[in-house]
Amino acid sequence: MTAAQSKAQSNGPRCCASSIDSIRRSGTDFDTLRFNPLQGTRDMPTFHIELFEGRTVEQKRQFVEAITKATCDSLNVEPGSVDIVLIDVKRENWATGGRLWSDPA
């Protein structure tokens, strides 16, 4: 087992996140697709977050509330413009250093 796997196992399910806020720079006018007149904003930070399966719905709820609050505070956007996609991944579908996380140590 690698040091990273050992650390992740001791800290619970591993998580990886990436912000897709820069998608507007790709040339597609997503502003017109995401504009919400009730919110009055064209900002659309979107987070795709992959984590090992096993979190409860309540844990996910608390997590997305915290991510939304931090995003609103740091980017000065409204909560309605923050999208979060949680992706549960089985350990057999995730590898680090050439080893599946489902493999025994």
Which residues are annotated as catalytic? Answer: 45
Query: Hey, how many other C-beta atoms are within 10 angstroms of the C-beta on 102?
Result: 11
- Residue 105 CA to residue 93 CA, distance in Å, equals 16
User: Residue 50 forms beta bridges with which residues?
Assistant: 16, 87
User: Which amino acid is present at 69?
Assistant: K
Q: Which residues, 6 or more positions from 42, have their beta carbon under 8 angstroms from its beta carbon? A: 31, 34, 35
Asked whether 68 and 84 are in contact (CB, 8 A), the reply is yes
